Structure 1
Amino acid sequence: MANRTDNSNRCSNGKKPNDGMRLIIATFVGIVVGFFLGISFPTLSLTKLNFPSGILPSVDITYVEDETPETSSETLLHTWSSRGPLHGANSSDAPHWKIWVPSNPRGAEMLTPGIIAPESDYYLRRLWGLPEEDVPVKPKYLIAFTVGFGQKVNVDACVKKFSKDFTIVLFHYDGRTTEWEELEWSKRAIHVSVPKQTKWWYAKRFLHPDIVAPYDYVFIWDEDLGLENFDVEEYIRLIKKHGLEISQPAVESKKKITWEITKRKTKGEVHKDAKEKPGRCNDPHLPPCAAFIEIMAPVFSRDAWRCVWHMIQNDLVHGWGLDFALRKCVEPAHEKIGVVDSQWIIHQSLPSLGSQGEAQDGKAGWQGVRDRCKREWTMFQSRMASSEKQYLKEIANSTIH
């Protein structure tokens, strides 16, 4: 019995050192494996692992997919969405994030505000290099002429009066653009060609306020103007000095000038009113005695043009009647609309766009154009009156209720 007991004790004592060694080895191996797992784990993307939603019911799993110190937008959105309520155990029921910004421009509500580019310009850009180096000097003003090839010589002389501070836009109503390429400045101009259209048709479609927003002033001029006595830099200085939001150069012409206010006065820099024929003005502060310019050579500030553009009717292409309504866009209009006398132009009164009309019912083409101009004037006045009447009616009803 004694021998058996001794043998038994020897066996049990011999196993203890082996068990301890195994434990030490297992612990060491575990530490090593855990270490290597730990350093490799951040390179994994938990967003690519399909964990059942029940495993981690209330834990936000957010890991950056790359090793850059910045947090990715996907991670931020995943973090935000994971904080929403869970809708079920199926992956299809997982919460989804959605962008909706009501204050964004119409149609862009699903975009984050920082990516929206609501405005554009007519700056010419290169097809190579860095975008920020495309336009070393950005023009501050825009001049648009509506032209036909027959007035090429005169338009050339006019454009040369405008410095590189101007973006030049030519609207070609006769469809001829190639012939203009021989002019040096034509290479940096914007050419838009649609046959038999007027400058107000073009302006409504190609001079949207969000397109011309970078420009302090927008000039929208006819092609038959003489600028021998006109200096554009001095003109801009004067309209800034006198606070004119809507203006035009004074006019001289060999033919009769319709409105007294547009005639050049030999004394002074600017005038804002004039005495008209009896019966033309019910109020000395209203058109055509004040708050009035013609539409042959208007100049608009950025803010004034934004308003005027919205007032231009899409289907009324001649702009007749618009001059009487310009006062709706500035306040006080009799102070902010004026004529610059010291920088004047000559209206050559050349028949150009009128020749684009078509003869109908025994009338010459130019006569049909003239008839439509008069008709549009009546239509515009009617629409304006109806619109204001409806607005006042709605205001009155809202006050009652």
Structure 2
Amino acid sequence: LYSTASASPVPIPSCQQVPFLSQKDNTHIMAKPGILGRSSSVPRSNEGMRIIFSAVVGIMLGYLFGISFPTVNITKLHFPSSIISYIEDRNSGITTQTLLNHAWTSAANHKKNNSASNPDEIPKIYVPTNPKGAERLPPGIVVSETDLYLRRLWGEPSEDLTSQPRYLVTFTVGYSQKANIDAVVKKFSENFTIMLFHYDGRTTEWDEFEWSKRAIHVSVRKQTKWWYAKRFLHPDVVARYDYIFIWDEDLGVEHFNAEAYIKLVRKHGLEISQPGLEPDRGLTWQMTKRIGDQEVHKFVEIMATVFSRDAWRCVWHMIQNDLVHGWGLDFALRKCVEPAHEKIGVVDSQWIIHQVIPSLGNQGKAENGKAPWEGVRERCRKEWGMFQTRLADAEKAYYLEHGITPPNSTGA
């Protein structure tokens, strides 16, 4: 540097050569032209930092324009800490971190858009029409229904089934009724899958019957047929069967033939049916008693009910988890078929006998001086009232929700 006051160069002393000066002396020296030459470096330094800042901003803007190239990675950009600190000091309200975050977000969004349009990337599967929970599976692998067909543990799966029964019959049984159940099962051909629900826990003893070795056994102590049906006869499990028989254990079948019964059910288009009951034996409803000169008449109860596949899907949803005896269910079956007076009926020409054996009643518990069967009967009546109330409340809530005056309502 040279002083403007002299034509000859004047050397500027280094920091080590400048003695300590008072504020007064320092002011005097700074006023000299030779010293002013050194102070001019401050604005030049500021101008250099502005150039650096402009360069950084230019780089970042260039990066934003150039993110169309997939090889660019924001995480690979590094800036000296001194530059970053200066930028943060110079920018009011906009820090380097903010700018970098904006760049990162833009890059990520662009990468996501590129991935969506990348023909080489395998798209994820989502099929909303698949069963709930299976939307991510390709439809070709979804098996939404199953069956109760028994299969081997060896050989070719395609060769497992020598026959595929079209009907299912279930009995809720105790071992004490083995002779009666044996007689009933023999009335059903190999076109029926046999399923026993054991409420007394005894299963292996039934293997004295050859048919028992091919039957399906479910054992849970002290439960009713509707408890079993709700949990083990889901409509998607029994979907392969045209008709599902859900029967008690105390039925006489001397005058019953299952195949002939099915033919009559099909002939008359019955979705919910039962065999007629012998009027001179046991306790029966008047409406379910057999009429001798007819093939069928209308109404059924729950003692020996037969459901079509579609009707059972509806009835299954109506069965309450806690109302295990099913009392009152027979009066509500009409809600599952239309028209009910044509689709529900008793098959008079194939009749059975209700033997009235209170075997399940004996599975109750004696309380307050009452016999076990009395407690069971009391529970049955209580469930009947509860079911009627629930059904009425559900229907009323539906109509009110849709702005419809409930049937049998005065509108008050």
Give the structure-2-normalised TM-score. 0.69
Who is 1:166 aligned against? 192
Please report how far the alpha carbon of residue 133 of structure 1 lies from its aligned counterpart in structure 2 after TM superposition: 1.1
Aligned counterparts, 1:53-132, within 5 A: 53-54=70-71, 86-87=111-112, 97-132=123-158
Is the counterpart of residue 226 in structure 1 residue 243 in structure 2?
no
1:249 and 1:110 map into 2 onto residues whose CA distance is 46
Q: Is the 1:120–1:213 contact (alpha carbons within 8 Å) kept by the matching residues of 2?
A: yes
Give every structure 1 segment of 4 or more consecutive aligned residues whose post-TM-superposition deviation is greater than 3 Å.
Answer: 52-55, 84-90, 93-97, 253-258
The SS at the match of 1:340 is: strand
Is residue 152 from structure 1 mapped to residue 183 from structure 2 by the alignment?
no
> Residue 53 of structure 1: CA displacement?
4.3
> How far 1:98 sits from its partner (Å)?
2.3
Q: CA deviation at 1:99?
A: 2.0
CA–CA distance in structure 2, aligned partners of residues 124 and 95 of structure 1: 43
- SS of equivalent to 2:402: helix
State yes or no: 1:348 paired with 2:355.
yes
SS in 1 for 2:238: coil
Query: Which 10-residue stretch deviates more, 254-263 or 165-174?
Result: 254-263
Tell me which residue corresponds to 2:371.
Answer: 364
Give CA-to-partner distance per residue, 1:196-251, whole Å, 9 cap, x none: 00000000000000000000000000000000000111100001001111000000
In 1, distance between residues paired with 2:206 and 2:271?
32
Report the CA distance shift for 1:88/1:381 in structure 2 as closer, same or farther (over 3 A): closer
Structure 1 pair 256–160 and aligned structure 2 pair: CA distance change class (3 A): closer
How far 1:373 sits from its partner (Å)? 0.2
Task: Say yes or no: does 1:337 pair with 2:363.
Answer: no
1:395 aligns with 2:412: no
| Residue aligning to 1:312 | 319
Q: Distance in 1 between matches of 2:269 and 2:113?
A: 65
Distance in 1 separating the partners of 2:288 and 2:325: 19
Give TM-score, length-normalised by structure 1: 0.71
Instruction: Choose 1 or 2 for highest CA Rg.
Output: 2
* Structure-2 separation of matches of 1:99 and 1:351: 56
Counterpart CA distance in 2 for 1:100 and 1:229 is 55
Give the alignment of 1:265-284 within 5 angstroms: 265-272=291-298
Check 1:85–1:127 CA distance in 2 against 1; reply closer, same or farther (3 A cut).
farther
Does structure 2 retain, via aligned residues, the 8 Å contact 1:257–1:263? Answer: no
User: Shift of the alpha carbon at 1:108?
Assistant: 1.1
**Partner amino acid for 1:396?**
G
Equivalent pairs counted in the alignment come to: 298
Partner amino acid for 1:144?
T
Query: Which residue of 2 is the match for residue 176 of structure 1?
Result: 202
CA distance in structure 2 between the partners assigned to 1:353 and 1:97 by the alignment: 57
Aligned partners of 2:300 and 2:403: how far apart in 1? 33
Q: Is the 8 A contact 2:282 2:355 kept in 1?
A: no
Residue identity in the other structure for 1:169: M
Pair 1:357–1:112, CA change in 2 (3 A): same
| Aligned counterpart, 1:71 | none
1:377 maps to what in 2? Answer: 384
Cα separation, 2, equivalents of 1:228 and 1:258 = 18
Per-residue deviation, 1:130: 1.3
Flag the 1:122–1:149 CA change in 2: closer, same or farther, 3 A. Answer: same
Runs of 5+ in structure 1 lacking a partner? 1-51, 56-83, 273-291
Aligned letter for 2:313? R
Secondary structure (helix, strand or coil) at the match of 2:112 reads: coil
**What are structure 2's unaligned runs of at least 5 residues?**
1-68, 73-108, 406-412
Q: Give the counterpart of 2:330 among 296, 320, 323.
A: 323
Match of 1:78 in 2: none
- Structure 2: how far apart are the matches of 1:337 and 1:89? 61
**Inter-partner Cα distance in structure 2 for 1:343 and 1:114:** 44
How far apart are the structure 2 equivalents of 1:158 and 1:252?
A: 16
Residue type of the partner of 2:368?
Answer: D
1:317 match: secondary structure: coil
Cα pair 2:278 2:353 within 8 Å, conserved: yes
Residue of structure 2 aligned with 1:143, choices 169, 183, 186 = 169
Matches within 5 A, 1:292-303: 292-303=299-310
Task: Say yes or no: does 1:134 pair with 2:160.
Answer: yes
* Contact 1:227–1:344 under 8 Å retained in 2: yes
On the 8 A contact 2:282/2:356 being kept in 1, the answer is no
Calculate the aligned-residue CA RMSD, in Å.
Answer: 2.3
Separation in structure 1 between the aligned mates of residue 347 and residue 132 of structure 2, nearest angstrom: 39
User: Aligned in 2, Cα 1:139/1:261: closer, same or farther, shift over 3 Å?
Assistant: same
Partner of 2:219: 193
